[in-house]
Amino acid sequence: MKNAIAIRHVAFEDLGSLAPILLQQDYAITYLEAGFDSLAEINPLAPELLIILGGPTG
């Protein structure tokens, strides 16, 4: 199984229509919360896919 990490800026964000495609391609999806989880501990080269979701616009 391949690993995808999605970093999100608000808790209700998700991958939307991309999630089923990734799951079909045998990706395990992990969500991390920007501003809450320690992103400094992540090796950005470890997952096969790193996704950074946008935050709300002001």
Tell me the pTM. Answer: 0.84
pLDDT over threshold 70, residue 57: no
| Tens of pLDDT, residues 20-56 | 999 999 999 999 998 899 988 888 788 999 999 987 7
Phi-psi map region of 35: left, alpha, beta (phi>0 left; psi -120 to 50 alpha):
left
Return the pLDDT at 12: 87
Enclosing H/E stretch for 18: helix 18-24
Q: Which tokens hold the place of 44?
A: 């950005």
Q: Kindly list the strands in the beta sheet with 2-8, ordered across the sheet, starting from the edge strand earlier in the chain.
A: 27-33, 2-8, 49-52
